[in-house]
Amino acid sequence: MKTVYPDNYSDDDKGMYDDMILKGQALIGNKISKNDAFLIDLASRMTINQINGRLTSLSKEEIEASRTLHRLAMNTPFHETPIDIFDEKEHPLSKPAEEFYSENMMKPIDYCGITT
């Protein structure tokens, strides 16, 4: 299969990309499923973009805020969902899922005029 490189890749970038793909396949290629093999390609492209200074469209403040939230979440042993995000009626865990489903189940919309 012929590799399609982005238009902005130099010859050095193309060589680096091919090298990363081969190393990634040698290191973890047989440990991941074929459906997840695209992750090696994605990681290689992200690394080359980072080396060339094409990171993201986020500002430094947004990146730092994201890092701070991530560190906070990683250092928290458990997560509590704020109770104020739920309706005042009742908490979703107050009764079984089947009961909530039966109360909120809606008849599907018949777009084609076919009755079941």
Residue that wins the pLDDT comparison between 22 and 83: 22
Is 39 a residue whose pLDDT tops 80? yes
Q: How far apart are CA 2 and CA 7, in angstroms?
A: 15
Place of tokens 């590799």: 3
The reply to whether 108 falls in a domain is no
Is residue 16 very low, low, confident or very high in pLDDT (cuts 50, 70, 90)?
very high
Range of the domain at 29: 10-50
pLDDT of residue 59: 73
The reply to whether 2 falls in a domain is no
Domain count, the chain: 1
Q: Is the dihedral of CA 23, 25, 27, 32 positive or negative?
A: positive
**DSSP of 32-88:** S-GGGTHHHHHHHHHHHHHHTT---S--HHHHHHHHHHHHHHHH-SS----GGGS-S
